[in-house]
Structure 1
Amino acid sequence: MGNNTFDMAETTLENQKPAQIFDDPEMEAMMDAGVHVGHTKMRRNPLMGPYIFGVRNNVEVIDLEKTKELFKKALEYMKELVGKGKVVLLVGTQPAARTIVQEIADETQMPSVTRRWIGGTLTNFKIISKRIETLETLEREKASGGFEKYTKKERLVLNDEIDRLKKNFDGLRLLKSMPDAVFVVNIVQDDLAVAEARRMKIPVIAFCDTNSNPKLADFPIPSNDDAVPAIRYMAGRIKAALLEGRMASKAPKT
């Protein structure tokens, strides 16, 4: 696939390169999931030019050959990282990604942020850790019946505090120290997470749609980052890599 943008209004991606797409199950699966569908031309980030195949009906089409190549590198990196017992923080706060990221975090036992990125999550990690400790202390006190000594009004205040802390920090309970890498579904939506990771020199793995700046990620993955089918397919591959890494970390050393 070429790097130059051209009008695909009368030509489908399928009949441009049928051998490369349909002789490759992985690329065909990506296409079926809509991974190749970018944004309109007017929203393009110029730095995404090398990863764009063309334009169809004013919508830019991502080069799936580039996606496959870069995705393979990212998956291998995450698998190797987790295989060494390292931690990847999963970030996806947009509604389309929230449930998917939470499911992956639960299955892989990785920390996650699926609601709102709290400023300082990485750059002020000690304070965030203390907030998580407060949440867990309150939960233990409630579970042990310790709230019974408070008035009804005081119990309401404490329960509200638990709910607020859970909403903000529940997914970070497994993050006992700084993560070894951060995966971000949408680097435009979660730009603060990316900025903090870069400031702390933590590698960033990210889907990069046609409106993204791929240079903000150490492992950019050209991909639709808005549509649920595309996110689910690509995130499912990431889940598999994390689980493989987890299994490798638990395997007996020879």
Structure 2
Amino acid sequence: MAIVSMKALLETGVHFGHRTRRWNPKMKPYIFTERNGIHILDLQQTIVLIEDAYNAIRDTVAAGGDVLFVGTKRQAQETVAREASRASQPYVNDRWLGGTLTNWRTIRQRINYLRELETRRDAGEFDLLKKTERLRIEREIEKLNLRLGGIRDLRDLPALMFVIDVSHEETAIREANTLKIPVIGVVDTNSDPDAIDYVIPSNDDAIRAIKLIVGKMADAALEGLASRKETLDVEVTDFNRYRYESFDGMEDAEDELLLGASTLAKLRESTSAAASEEDAADLDEEVAEVISEVEEKIRDEESE
């Protein structure tokens, strides 16, 4: 079953490109036809390419990577913030700060500075300052949150970037290309797809079209998170089982060292042949007593 239906794409206007005079010839392979001076995108290709992008995001998140959602144009800002937050992924929906990726160390320092200001404010350290100074600090916190709030929990560079309107986000894409970070891009008929690793041919201006595609990419991230959690749960279970079996094996080895293989085998046979839990308990006590006697004998020999 397709990630998104043809009906949903048509209803949200994904197929509408720009006027023919504004087209980029590199988008010709993705154009189906022209109607009333407007290019119409080939939705059959869009369906397949959305699925490719969906799988890339799902697999990236499942492997432990982060996907950076980028949409700073007015039509995309609210949707990008909401859907990225829903999927627990970082996002940029205000102006892209030059060096966000290529100068990540400095950006990380600014994020730490934001956290420090918020901590000091919440602790009441600024309460005794003049009103004008407090307002200045509050405005600085608001500005930093506006620019960096979406990436404040990003600990390292993202493994993948998802962009709305590749023409509008040229700087972000250039930085990702420099660092070899794969890019998924919503590409309209007026844009250049060359710098994009996963092209999604689509209307990048209609709010409904943006909501549909960004929502599907967020769903992919959520599926990846669920897969990651399942994998971690299995690994923890396997580790606990290994730890228990290893500990059990160490106990057996210690018993054999103290009693000898033949004596231990006889005691085990007696235990397995016990007719009741009470008999088994008695045999366990017997084993413990024998081990205790042997240990005491060893200590006596060492003291001599």
| CA distance in structure 2 between the aligned counterparts of 1:214 and 1:221, rounded to whole angstroms | 9
Indicate the percent of aligned positions where both proteins have the same amino acid.
40
8 Å CA contact 2:187, 2:193 repeated in 1: yes
| CA distance in structure 2 between the aligned counterparts of 1:55 and 1:220, rounded to whole angstroms | 20
Partner of 1:233, secondary structure, is helix
Q: Could you say which structure has the higher helix fraction?
A: 2
Kindly state the Cα deviation for residue 25 of structure 1 after the two structures are TM-superposed.
7.2
Partner of 2:186, secondary structure, is strand
| CA distance in structure 2 between the aligned counterparts of 1:67 and 1:25, rounded to whole angstroms | 10
1:74 matched residue in structure 2: 53
Q: Where does the alignment leave 5 or more consecutive residues of structure 2 unmatched?
A: 236-304
Give yes or no for the alignment of 1:169 onto 2:144: no
AA paired with 2:42? D
**Which structure ranks higher in relative contact order (CA pairs < 8 Å, sequence separation ≥ 6)?**
1
Partner of 1:39, secondary structure, is strand
Kindly state the Cα deviation for residue 31 of structure 1 after the two structures are TM-superposed.
1.0
8 Å CA contact 1:109, 1:174 repeated in 2: no
1:193 matched residue in structure 2: 172
Give yes or no for the alignment of 1:242 onto 2:221: yes
Kindly state the Cα deviation for residue 140 of structure 1 after the two structures are TM-superposed.
0.5
Per-residue Cα deviation, 1:50-101 (whole angstroms, up to 9, x for no partner): 0000101100000011111111111111101111111000000111111110
Structure 2-normalised TM-score?
Answer: 0.74
AA paired with 2:183? V
AA paired with 2:60? L
| CA distance in structure 1 between the aligned counterparts of 2:169 and 2:14, rounded to whole angstroms | 19
Partner of 2:204, secondary structure, is coil
AA paired with 1:253? V
2:39 matched residue in structure 1: 60
| Superposed CA RMSD | 1.3
Kindly state the Cα deviation for residue 253 of structure 1 after the two structures are TM-superposed.
2.5
8 Å CA contact 1:30, 1:36 repeated in 2: yes
Give yes or no for the alignment of 1:253 onto 2:238: no
Matches within 5 A, 1:92-103: 92-103=71-82
Given candidates 66, 71, 89, the residue that maps to 1:87 is 66
Rg: which structure is higher?
A: 2
2:193 matched residue in structure 1: 214
| CA distance in structure 1 between the aligned counterparts of 2:193 and 2:234, rounded to whole angstroms | 37
| CA distance in structure 2 between the aligned counterparts of 1:43 and 1:232, rounded to whole angstroms | 24
Partner of 2:5, secondary structure, is helix
Q: Where does the alignment leave 5 or more consecutive residues of structure 1 unmatched?
A: 1-23
AA paired with 1:26? S
Give yes or no for the alignment of 1:29 onto 2:22: no
Give yes or no for the alignment of 1:146 onto 2:132: no
Hey, which bits of structure 1, 4+ residues long, moved more than 3 A?
Answer: none
Give yes or no for the alignment of 1:108 onto 2:71: no
Structure 1-normalised TM-score?
Answer: 0.88
